[in-house]
Amino acid sequence: MADSTGPISLTVHGAAGRMGRRVVALGLADPSFQLVGAIDHAESPELGKDSGAVAGEAPSGVEISSHWPALDEKSIKRAVIDFSLPEAIDGCVQHCVEAGSPLVVATTGLTEEQKQGLSEAAKSIPVVWAPSMSLAVNLSMKIAEQITAALKDVSGGLDVEILERHHRFKADAPSGTALKFGELIAGQLGESTSHVHGREGHTGARTREEIGYHAIRVGDNPGEHTIVFGMLGEKIELNVAASNRDCYASGALAAAKWLIQQDKGPGLYSMFDVLGMSQS
């Protein structure tokens, strides 16, 4: 009979990356988890190295590998956290569907086809997917929705601009978090909303129906978003910023705990669900 007690068996996909290392480190420090797998791509220079040591912690006894660990049939408490790259996500999703493992996807820059693939996977396994795992970011998204709903019909009009700052190594722009802010705000503004990515040249006057996006890539910034709500005579700036990457790693671990502790069945969930702030 499967054992429902004990820690959650955790596999980290993208374990040698910047975020994967932090998930490994925080997972090792949390008695709710037992690290059983640390996966990275076949060309990773970290293959064969202890995942704890690569993360800057004490050895974990789990080496970084390009092969998925064998399932422990004695435990039904297992989860996979994916912090990898868009080109790696498909194989991870396929493995989790075949293994029946709950999945937390924190990888950004996914194509529409890959998002559809997550929806299909969620018909057979529980999946948490969000463009940001940060508690503060998701709370700010709710606040942004409320501000927009309250001011969308203000006399003189409401202008919304989204500025995002990330480290120089980030491969996608705008960030998935910025796009999610825009999606939620557009949901309040209405179907005629357009999305403008940067401006250059003689653009003419700003229309009342657009949301502007501006991507800044500097140094080692782990993530910062500023939503500007501009009106005639006054403005509101909503700013949320990470000082390090641990907020994303701890959020992903919290999502994995939520899937297991709430015994969630198949479905596609968000961090709003994890935090009890679902839109329903």
The Cα–Cα gap between 101 and 46 comes to 25
What spatial distance separates the first Cα and last Cα of the chain, rounded to whole Å? 37
Is residue 75 a contact partner of residue 7, using CB atoms and an 8 Å limit? no
The Cα–Cα gap between 216 and 198 comes to 11
Q: Among this protein's residues, is 41 annotated catalytic?
A: no
Active-site annotation holder among 13, 77, 166, 180: 166
CB crowding 65-85: b at 16 or more within 10 Å, else e: beebbeeeeebebbbbbbbbe
Joined tokens for residue 172: 């996608």
Q: Among this protein's residues, is 235 annotated catalytic?
A: no
Active-site annotation holder among 170, 195, 257, 264: 170
The Cα–Cα gap between 190 and 58 comes to 52
Q: Which residues are catalytic?
A: 166, 170
